[in-house]
Amino acid sequence: MIRRALLLAPAALFSAACAFRPWTPAVSVAYWSESVPPSRMVAVPPTADLYARWQLPPGLHWSRYQKMTLLASLEGVTGMRELPDIDALDVVHEAELAAARLGAVGLPDGTLLLVDLRGAASVAFGAALSQRAKESIALVPTFHHWPAPNELIPAEETLAAMLARVPRLPSATDLHARPVFLLDAWRLAFRFDAPDDGVYDNRYVLGAADLPAPHVLANHQIRRVIYVVESLDETEQEEEDLHPILRAYVENGVSVSMVDLAWLTALPDGDFSAKLGERVLTIAPRRTVLDEPSFYARARGGFGGVHAGPSPFRFGSIVHGGG
């Protein structure tokens, strides 16, 4: 059994350090998170079956970005396992409704999606979209965390969702499958806090190698990124680790529009490209928490631990990353 994560936001989250920074998905998910969902017994299929369920055909370019870390944690596990009941989370159902509507309307050409929700909701969104969309969808899980007793962020929620949902995979010859990257907004939660003793810090950041570089988007005729968050009322800007990546996109002629689940659920019929123009992000250079040495010193293993630090490379260096 995996112990439930510590989902109550530490007091420092509400401190002045947070108050003077615009809210991002990780801040809002930690602040507004629902209580821990109840557990239920889940039958764990063979790991090979799970990989087959989620892995893209190796011939598709987007397969190189997939992370199967969570599924690897089940290797050697058989029978029943106690995991969170993700169907008890309202945001999971909201994500599926939004994905179903997007699938019915259809994705604009030349589009990549970044779905930055609570992990289980991102998985549910991606699976529902793949099943309902007219277009072929290439789902790209980016989850780096590992489930563990007394974990800081709830990796087991995302794992439970990957067991509970079955996506529709593109064929090996479908080179035009629309890329949909699935992110866990918990990854940078509690960023202003040092975990208590005995807590396993399984937080992580996404870097340049985890997402396609601007030239890769250009090679695939992708001119637009749709950045999906849970609520625009609670999210003011892109997540800290995405800032240099999205800024490089914008500098190379790719538009980035931030939308939320309610916005997608209310989509009208027809091409909604013009509506995306109303949600375009302005991504000016700024200092992020990842530029602060104290951010790494607070971690007890997450983000590379106390021996990690700000990267000496800044925005321009990622243009050539990400294969």
Asked whether residue 19 is assigned to any structural domain, the reply reads yes
Structural domain contains residue 2: no
The model's confidence at residue 300, banded by pLDDT at 50, 70 and 90, is low
Does residue 275 carry a pLDDT above 60?
yes
Instruction: Please count the structural domains in the chain.
Output: 1
**Is 1 inside any structural domain?**
no
Q: Is residue 6 assigned to a domain?
A: no
Inside any domain, residue 131: yes
pTM above 0.85, yes or no: yes
| Domain coverage including residue 163 | 11-320
pLDDT (0 to 100) of residue 323: 53
Per-residue pLDDT, 245: 97
Q: Confirm whether 282 is domain-assigned.
A: yes
Which pLDDT does position 298 carry in this prediction? 79
**Residue 270 resides in a domain:** yes
Residues 6+ positions from 129 with CB-CB distance below 8 Å? 99, 100, 102, 103, 137, 180
Strand-strand pairing, 178-184 and 137-141 = parallel
42 pLDDT more than 50: yes
* Confidence band of 234 (pLDDT split at 50, 70, 90): very high
The label of the residue with tokens 């939660």 reads 189
Task: Calculate mean pLDDT across residues 182-204.
Answer: 90
Q: In this structure, what token pair is assigned to residue 321?
A: 């990353």
- Write out the H or E segment, with its range, that includes residue 123: helix 119-132
6-10, 84-88, 199-203: segment of lowest average pLDDT: 6-10
Q: Per the domain annotation, does 143 fall within a domain?
A: yes
Query: What's the CA gap between 123 and 142, in Å, rounded?
Result: 11
